Amino acid sequence: MRDLVMIFARETLRYVFVSAANQIPRFHTLDFVRTSILRWAGLKIGEKSRISGHLVLEFSLRRATVKHISIGNDCFLGYNCRISASKAEVCIGNKCNIGPNVSIETAGHWFNRKADKRHSYHKPVTIEDNVWIGAGCIILPGVTIGRNSIVAAGAVVAKDVAEGVLVGGVPARTIKTLSDFPANAFPALAEAVA
């Protein structure tokens, strides 16, 4: 019984930390304060990573759902991102940019018509290094997004994404291989990165 009380108290404290972090206004400097508080709540967040605004997490007072989330170094998560990781892991690599209102889901449901019963399944989501995910995307269970890829705004990613491609649409499909872009397509960007 004592163990259950301790687990309940620890998970309640995590919830309080996440709630406090979500009350901090969106402002560049305060984003790092928010990120520190989320680390105290148990999220694995790398150095120089920033969470800009409200982060929606799935909670359970029976198990540490935030322990299934890891965010790499130098990442940016836009406001109102949802990460569902109650029974499967979400791993976000280094230097990833995730736009606002992105939903990363690890759980799904299927219906058995003969038994007239709904079943759930849980699969991990992996976002490799240097991935950009546009605003309003939905990443479904079991998906791996390859490094150096871009997911266009509003896409629903139901299958794995190869390395170095641009995907978009519902469901997401490959639009272009990123090496196909001419080297001088974005001169201002090239100067800024150099």
Would you name the residues annotated as active-site residues? 109
User: Cα separation of 157 and 173, whole Å?
Assistant: 8
CA distance linking residue 61 with residue 12, whole number of Å: 7
Burial label for 190, CB within 10 Å (0-12, 13-18, 19+), is: exposed
Nearest CA to 20 among 35, 36, 37? 37
As beta bridge partners, residue 168 has 173
Residue 44 CA, chain-centre distance (Å), reads 12
